[in-house]
A and B are shown apart, each in its own frame.
Chain A
């Protein structure tokens, strides 16, 4: 058991060290993803407390958070310099696609919000 916790500590430390090496721009995107997921969880908790009556509003709220998180992850994949598949994709193009997809997502959300 001690070995287990020791291993876990070692694991966490090495994860931290490796993560610290990522560039700042990617860290900002990761922070945004965490924020979106946290918002989604807060909404689910709220629904658990007060009930799901306008279900379409609940759905559109949660799915908009999840949607922007997913799109941010896609942006991170495309902008990451370590990714060999996307090395000839200019980051401006990736960001433009991200903005377009978000626009569409939020248009649909506004329609569905009721």
Chain B
């Protein structure tokens, strides 16, 4: 009778717990969605930054022209005159997802525009990512840890920074795909079901479609398999989890045009093939071990080893020769720059110049993952008690992502889910221990409410401790395994150190124990629970602050607060709108590559270079033109059929990310391809300056002239608010360019190339055609080659 009543009440508790979990998860999804809406509330529903504009343009094309045209699209409005094969060079996952959502909404007669769908894709998928974290952590540790981890991930600032509403970039869906793929892998590992292995391959396919970071998955999973084999945890479930994934995964990855045959030919994938072979060898060894007697097995091993080593040596020699023959050892430039942090600065200055590719500083860890930074070590320890395949995977994931986040600040995003999982485990374990202590003490108090010393194990002697421990072993059979774990998790709280040492002494004394659950004193538990809740509250406060203040700036619209209210700087859109309405459709615009995507998307004009940065020489050409004197620059731009030049200038309002601050990178990149541009020519005594002490080359280059033309008219002295001094050359005229538009706060300045004069006085030369023709693809014009 009593047992069935207990069972009934426990199943009722389980049912109640299940319903509560569903509600909690729903609320977590709502939190994840709403915390990312600050930029929509503070500014407007607009697409942020630079890369999202390209994705938005591609999505627009997809929604207008359908998937077949999208797959075969050759874009001629960028990288003039080279063009870009969009179908083959873009990761289609994000655009296809948003396009599908748009199509679905419209088919249900919900009239959402493409822009709205693009802006809100990231918050929706962050809610999905939180739920995926719940599933993953549930597989690793349990449902309690899952809910905690999901709640933490919904708010972690590092993930918010790349998935805020309006940040329509690959990471918005890729992080969800990453977590979901890991969840399915762990689920397959735990259950050994081939069905989940198939789903795992599909999730991996979605990840490959979405982001170049999929190479992290295809290298982490083989590393984990290798770890399991080496630590003696090989099982047939491991084979089922890994082998179908490699075959199906490679095939599916090869289906995506961006990856194509790279799926079998680049070093990023070789690791998975190597472990594929290794796991087959190990499986064979285990099989033979199972059917032979031990003595014969020893004979077999000696035989195989002698023959096998010889064969292996030959194969390895061939492989090494093949790999070493390519200069990058088969790795792509981006992967190499991750493995060797100094590679990019030596060989690929474009990768080195992007600010998100710099190593992070210590404060950025506390800004981005806050409280998790010190919950993670506790979580690592909790994963070892007990160690299972899934928890070893979580630890490996954390360690590798910590390394990569140390190389590039952009990869802190990959660290965020790992840190959330670990912290969720740590917090859940801590809460489990503390509430168990409280429950134990309270039930004990109600049971024997007279005299008997309350079980303050920490201060009691060994004899007294055995009695309450006996009580404990009878009533709490399910929590035995959590003994030592509780010890270690509690170690970080200073108050409990005293009890710990005494608990450790108590342990060997009692006679009857196998696993004794130790409890903490009641006051300590209550205070600790309270402190943990305060910790959680501080974390939430920080996340909301970071989301509202630090990560919600759309960077296309700037605001500043001054004594007379809020100033809005909408100069970028002003300039692009001017271009859109006041130039011909086929006019080409040259600017630094940062603004390429925005120019094609918003101004709808052809650009020379954009953020895809796939052609270093083309970018170097533009960089050289910006660093050359006016005439040489005019020649270069004329050879590229450029009509308008766009520069960004922050000196009047104090906008620090303008082209003058980026100018040295233009010089370096240009100098990397054209040796007549030397960085030292632009520096005075090794220092970069544009005031009166600047070098002659600097004061005469195109970038200086286009930025500071007529700047002295603003305040009479030419005081640059970003560089904080007066500029060097104040009064000068432009001979080959004319200014056509400057925005309200002088942030974007547009110049037009002046046509050549019809007659050149004083010298007898062939008269050049001086017409203002726009597209000059025919060989009518005689162009002087500027590089002779």
Contacts and interface: CB of A to CB of B under 8 A. Distances in A.
A94 B236 CA distance: 14
B291 A15 contact: yes
Contacts of A109: 251
A63 B193 contact: no
A42 interface: no
Interface residues of A, number: 39
A100 interface: yes
A67 B288 contact: no
Interface residues of B, number: 34
Contact of A112 (B255, B283, B300, B303): B255
Nearest to A21: B291
Contact of A105 (B251, B261, B292): B251
Interface string A62-76: 010011001101110
B264 interface: yes
Contacts of A59: 251, 254, 261, 264
A contact face: mostly helix, strand, loop, or mixed: helix
Nearest to A82: B290
Contacts of A8: 303
Interface in B199-230: 201-202
Most A Cβ at <10 Å: residue of B192, B243, B247: B247
Contacts of B300: 11
B420 interface: no
Contacts of B291: 15, 18-19
B293 interface: yes
Given A74-B240, A78-B192, A100-B198, A14 B296 contact: yes
A77 B243 CA distance: 13
Interface string B446-478: 000000000000000000000000000000000
A14 B300 CA distance: 11
Contacts of B254: 56, 59, 112
B292 A74 contact: no
Given A18-B292, A108-B255, A112-B255, A78 B194 contact: yes
Contacts of B202: 104
B194 A94 contact: yes
A59 B264 CA distance: 9
B252 A74 contact: no
A11 B194 contact: no
Contacts of A55: 261
Nearest to B283: A73
A73 B251 contact: no
A111 B253 CA distance: 12
Given A73-B239, A100-B198, A101-B197, A10 B252 contact: no
Contacts of A111: 255
Given A10-B296, A74-B240, A77-B239, A97 B193 contact: yes
Contacts of B194: 71, 74-75, 78, 94, 97-98, 100-101
A71 to B, nearest CB: 6
Contacts of A100: 194-195, 198
B247 A73 contact: no
A24 interface: no
Contacts of B244: 67, 70-71, 74, 101
B285 to A, nearest CB: 13
Interface string A18-45: 1100000000000000000000000000
B283 to A, nearest CB: 8
Nearest to B291: A18
A74 B236 CA distance: 8
A83 B236 contact: yes
A46 interface: no
Nearest to A19: B291
B251 A60 contact: yes
Given A14-B293, A112-B255, A73 B243 contact: yes
Contacts of B255: 108, 111-112
B544 interface: no
Nearest to A77: B236
Contact of A85 (B192, B197, B299): B192
A4 interface: yes
B303 A11 contact: yes
A86 B266 CA distance: 37
A101 to B, nearest CB: 5
Interface in A90-114: 94, 97-98, 100-101, 104-105, 108-109, 111-112
Contact of B299 (A7, A74, A101, A104): A7
Given A71-B244, A101-B197, A108 B235 contact: no
Contacts of A86: 192, 236
Contacts of A19: 291
B334 interface: no
B250 interface: yes
A100 B195 CA distance: 8
B51 to A, nearest CB: 29
B492 to A, nearest CB: 37
A35 to B, nearest CB: 17
A15 B291 CA distance: 7
B484 interface: no
A81 to B, nearest CB: 13
Contacts of A15: 288, 291-292
A18 to B, nearest CB: 4
A43 to B, nearest CB: 14
Contacts of B293: 14
B336 interface: no
Contacts of B243: 70, 73-74
Nearest to B243: A70
B109 to A, nearest CB: 33
B352 interface: no
Nearest to A70: B243
Nearest to A74: B240
Nearest to B195: A97
Nearest to A71: B244
Contacts of B250: 63
Nearest to B264: A59
Interface in B226-271: 235-237, 239-240, 243-244, 247-248, 250-252, 254-255, 261, 264
A99 B239 CA distance: 18
Contacts of A56: 254, 261
A75 B291 CA distance: 19
In the A-B complex, list the 3 residue pairs whose CB atoms are closest, starting with the nearest.
A97-B194, A18-B291, A67-B247
Given A10-B296, A100-B195, A104-B202, 11 more contacts: A56-B261, A67-B244, A74-B240, A75-B194, A78-B192, A89-B192, A100-B198, A101-B198, A105-B247, A105-B251, A112-B254
24 contacts: A7-B299, A10-B296, A11-B296, A59-B254, A63-B251, A66-B247, A67-B247, A70-B247, A73-B243, A74-B194, A74-B239, A74-B244, A85-B235, A89-B193, A98-B194, A100-B198, A101-B195, A104-B201, A104-B202, A108-B248, A108-B251, A109-B251, A112-B251, A112-B255
Interface of B: 192-195, 197-198, 201-202, 235-237, 239-240, 243-244, 247-248, 250-252, 254-255, 261, 264, 283, 288, 290-293, 296, 299-300, 303
